[in-house]
Amino acid sequence: MTTPVLKLGIAGLGRGFMLLLPTLAAHPDIRLVAAADPREQARRQFTADFSAATYSDVADLCADPEVEAVYIATPHQFHREHVELAAAHGKHVLVEKPMALSLEDCQAMIDAMHRAGRWLVVGHSHSFDAPYLRASDMIASQDFGAVRMIHALNYTDFLYRPRRPEELDTDQGGGVVFSQAAHQVDIVRLLGGGRVRSVRAATGNWDPSRPTEGAYGALLNFDDGAFANMTYSGFAHFDSDEFCGWSGELGQPRDPQQYGSARAKLASIHSAEEEAALKNSRTYGAGLSLDNSKPQDSAHNHFGLVIVSCDEADLRPLPQGVEVYAHTRRYLEPLSPPEIPRREVLDELITAIRHDRRPVHTGEWGMATMEVCLAMLESARHGREVSLSHQVGLPGTGTL
């Protein structure tokens, strides 16, 4: 029996939407029927691309009877309000990471969706990427024994890409802990079974012109005795794509000769207003549309170097598959190149709605990831280990 197409509305036509746009347009079981954004040029572009309704207010989008589910890709600080609006109108929700900026907001979002009897999925995070999902399945097979240690490392130019002022303000959800640790923690929790017992972290805020966290290091201890070391730097020096064959985070080929380009471009900007204008000049409706957002990925998405140490082997997810380092041999468990990049997040949403199957990335899962991120900030601020109390395991493990 054919699965009915899911009629999806988009709340926010910004960066999150642009990253998922090729997937949304190519997925055979998704139809974009409406969008909300305060920018008139973005609304005009959406109408031209999809012949769909547009609204300036998210409340009107949520009230549209044609919309079955809402993809909330608005700024972090509005996630709770917009999830509660969608729930009040009986819509399923896919909300961008980070889920929210406080555990109180996360819990309120979960409660609202439970009352509505609708599914809440949190993503897209890189834990949806096929190499990490394959590694998780390999771990679940028990062919490699128990997970003992995870190392995750990523060096990027994140802090030196054009930013709006609030993206450089931790209190408003700026910095690498909210925006990037949400990816890395999700990956590590997926591979480690989900339930983190405690966190000890340090953060780096070393450039007064970019006054937020640009780096962190964290040690996560899991309930079963496994531990994970996470390192991230967005200071635009070393680039860990070098460890992934110069395949970029989004699967695109990278040119190592472009070293330093982010900092060089930023050096030509002389005010926060100029920087915000540069960022806005390459947004949906202002230079970007469906026509110039076609999939260009040649490999799977990734989030830097990840190594999972099990009793019988080390597993290394790569853009082309999972490399296995066993006792006496090394081999690749290959993955075919993606036909539709990042489709896994939409598949999880559709499966939950159409088949009533509990997803991995529930509201409870997203809240557990945010608990780790907030604990990292607390640990760094007070110089101590922080214990956790809102963790959940993977579906089917009996530890939800």
pLDDT of residue 397: 58
Peptide bond into 98 cis (omega under 30): yes
Query: What is the average pLDDT value for the chain, to the nearest integer?
Result: 94
List, for residues 256-283, the tens digit of each pLDDT value. 999 999 999 999 988 988 998 888 877 8
| Exposed e or buried b per residue across 135-163, where buried means at least 16 C-beta atoms within 10 angstroms of its C-beta | bbebbeeeebeebbebbbbbbbbbbbbbb
Q: What are the residue boundaries of the structural domains of the chain, listed by start?
A: 6-126+341-370, 128-337
Range in 1-5, 12-16, 29-33, 374-378 the model is least confident about: 1-5
* Rounded Cα–Cα distance for residues 119 and 103 (Å): 19
pLDDT of residue 281: 78
| Mean pLDDT calculated for residue range 364-381 | 98
List, for residues 281-290, the tens digit of each pLDDT value. 778 998 889 9
pLDDT of residue 369: 98
Q: Give me the sheet containing 330-334, strands edge to edge.
A: 330-334, 321-326, 313-318, 305-310, 147-155, 227-233, 215-222, 196-204, 386-387
Three-state helix/strand/coil letters over 259-276: CCHHHHHHHCCCCHHHHH
What torsion do the CA atoms of 133, 136, 140, 144 make, to the nearest 10 degrees? 130
Three-state helix/strand/coil letters over 316-379: EEECCEEEEEECCCEEEEECCCCCCCCHHHHHHHHHHHHHCCCCCCEHHHHHHHHHHHHHHHHH
* Rounded Cα–Cα distance for residues 369 and 187 (Å): 10
Peptide bond into 124 cis (omega under 30): yes
CATH of domain 128-337: 3.30.360.10
List, for residues 70-127, the tens digit of each pLDDT value. 999 999 999 999 999 999 999 999 999 999 999 999 999 999 999 999 999 998 899 9
Looking at the structure, give the CATH architecture of the domain made up of residues 6-126+341-370.
3-Layer(aba) Sandwich (3.40)
Given this chain, do its domains 6-126+341-370 and 128-337 carry the same CATH topology? Answer: no
List, for residues 92-101, the tens digit of each pLDDT value. 999 999 999 9
| Mean pLDDT calculated for residue range 217-243 | 97
Q: Give the Å distances, CA to CA, from 249 to 157, 342, 357.
A: 12, 12, 29
Range in 206-210, 280-284, 363-367 the model is least confident about: 280-284
Token pair for residue 182? 């949400």
The conformational region for residue 241 under phi > 0 = left, psi -120 to 50 = alpha, else beta, is alpha
Q: Which residues pair with 288 in a beta bridge?
A: 284
pLDDT of residue 396: 65
List, for residues 132-171, the tens digit of each pLDDT value. 999 999 999 999 999 999 999 999 999 999 998 999 999 9
For tokens 């559709």, what's the residue?
Answer: 350
Alpha carbons within 13 A on the beta-carbon side of 237: 5
pLDDT of residue 398: 45
Inform me whether the pLDDT recorded for 231 exceeds 80. yes
The percent of residues above 90 in pLDDT, for the chain, comes to 87
| Mean pLDDT calculated for residue range 10-17 | 94
* Rounded Cα–Cα distance for residues 390 and 400 (Å): 10
Mapping DSSP to helix (H, G, I), strand (E, B) and coil, where does residue 236 land?
coil
For 184, phi then psi, to 5°, come to: -70, -40
| Mean pLDDT calculated for residue range 329-341 | 94
Inform me whether the pLDDT recorded for 399 exceeds 60. no
pLDDT of residue 276: 84
Q: Give the Å distances, CA to CA, from 230 to 40, 62, 112, 123, 218.
A: 41, 38, 33, 20, 5
Confidence of residue 349 (pLDDT cuts 50, 70, 90): very high
Q: Give the Å distances, CA to CA, from 260 to 168, 266, 281.
A: 20, 10, 21
Instruction: Tell me the whole-structure pTM to 2 decimals.
Output: 0.95
